[in-house]
Structure 1
């Protein structure tokens, strides 16, 4: 199984400097540590709505690739987003779900259906153009180039386990500063 930080380190190396990455909760802390950028949109305080934020950006900026780093617990709180996203069919959206079977941001409590939920199957049924379920780093390395080049919407669930914990700077994540940096970065899109 993939360690979350190893997967994220590999992914962020492939993301262009000016690409928007939308991240939820625990993954947001990892993202800020691995890829500090004003183009990181941190969806904090809105569990379940990260996918909606990313869809809005994808529709607003159709010529820019939008990368969504979601969690399985967050996705469960808004499964309707799969149908909404598939119906809107943004060609520029890649929806990654880090599936570890827990609400990690809330103490690691298990999510319902952790052994039976098939997120890639749900996305496929909803109408996503491309769907992947990965559980090994070698699988990820073999398909990530294709994933980043194909027309979306694309859904990728990564079955993972916790990796290195990065500093959890809640004051920064909830600050006006981080919002202002993002607003300035995208002002002329």
Structure 2
């Protein structure tokens, strides 16, 4: 399965669940924007390894909102500590989706450790995440999207031909904050 196909399924499921969706840096965010820009999407620009942490922070701050974070294998390898924190917090409203293509897709497809021996599902389980699933097909992805914890999706190497996101970081943040903020108490 191509990464953009997985992102399309994730986007559809996030929309049907009314979920906030945090997109990983580089091509995954660009692909997310291309398949379905919506105010509930937060696109990461230049913060490798932090989509999982930002997603968890949102889930903790907004416990009544469904939050899905899309991260890549390279980014998760850069911030493995987030898996232990996700396990420790065990939020019902949070799902981390790791798109594992075995490479750093946005910088030239250099191999990551998952292309050889490392298994991020095993690492997440070892960190204590109670619900860890692996998907390789579209139907498996769709059936796992209502869960919590960590979902590792094995995808092919390669980036879709998509443009850059035509929004500044301030525009991304402003649009996202307007939709994700809890309602202010009335006087």
Q: Bin the TM-score by the shorter chain.
A: 0.7 to 0.9
Query: Superposed, which structure 2 residues align to 1:1-189 within 5 Å?
Result: 2-16=1-15, 18-25=18-25, 26-141=27-142, 143-144=143-144, 147-148=145-146, 150=147, 152=148, 154-161=149-156, 162=158, 164-169=160-165, 172=167, 174-189=168-183
Change (3 A) 1:188 1:137: closer
| Structure 2 unmatched ranges of 5 or more | none
**TM-score (normalised: structure 2):** 0.88
**TM-score (normalised: structure 1):** 0.87
1:21 Cα deviation after fit: 0.2
| Structure 1 unmatched ranges of 5 or more | none
- Output the CA distance in 1 between the equivalents of 2:122 and 2:139: 21
Q: Secondary structure at the match of 1:81?
A: helix
- How many residues get paired? 180
Q: CA RMSD in A?
A: 1.8
